Amino acid sequence: MTTYEEFIQQNEDRDGVRLTWNVWPSSRIEASRLVVPLACLYQPLKERPDLPPIQYEPVLCTRSNCRAILNPLCQVDYRAKLWVCNFCFQRNPFPPQYAAISEQHQPAELIPGFSTIEYTITRAPTMPPVFIFLVDTCMDEDELDALKDSLQMSLP
Ligand SMILES: [Zn+2]
């Protein structure tokens, strides 16, 4: 990897995520001044054979209006057993099952290569699954018409 552009491309290829910006706005004022809105294209169900699903619940930020998930970009204080949310800067204690973590013994969600994690949650869901069907309509009119026709044929 020789350029920043290649670095970004490599991360997009790995995670199936493309953001409109490479840096998060640091304030509401800065966010309001963005010429292009902050947005994300996400490739759901991207195959990641190098990353097996994690068989436990994600660790969530304790701030009720945040609930972000522990990730490799969070700051961690291994001695105090705390992590700092990288979205709202809330200091969060690790749950009891993380008592043995250290810089040498990290959970998968803190390992930099695990930038995308698929959790397999064993408890019963509290709500029905949500399916999002997105179609990128930036295509030729003929292709779009063919897509519309195929969707009408498949609908009951
Ligand atoms: Zn947070």
Indicate whether 118 and 56 sit together in one domain. yes
104 domain residue, yes or no = yes
Taking a 5 Å cut-off on Cβ, the residues next to ion ligand 1 are 61, 63, 66, 68, 85, 87-88, 90
> How much distance in Å is there from the Cα of 148 to the middle of ligand 1?
41
> How much distance in Å is there from the Cα of 64 to the middle of ligand 1?
8
153 domain residue, yes or no = no
89 domain residue, yes or no = yes
Domain count, the chain: 2
63 domain residue, yes or no = yes
Indicate whether 41 and 55 sit together in one domain. no
Indicate whether 70 and 9 sit together in one domain. no
> How much distance in Å is there from the Cα of 60 to the middle of ligand 1?
8
Average pLDDT over residues 56-68: 94
Residue 41: closest CA among 18, 65, 64: 18
Query: What pLDDT shows up at residue 86?
Result: 93
> How much distance in Å is there from the Cα of 68 to the middle of ligand 1?
5
Q: pLDDT (tens digit, 9 = 90+) per residue, 80-110?
A: 999 999 999 999 999 999 999 999 999 999 9
Query: What pLDDT shows up at residue 58?
Result: 93
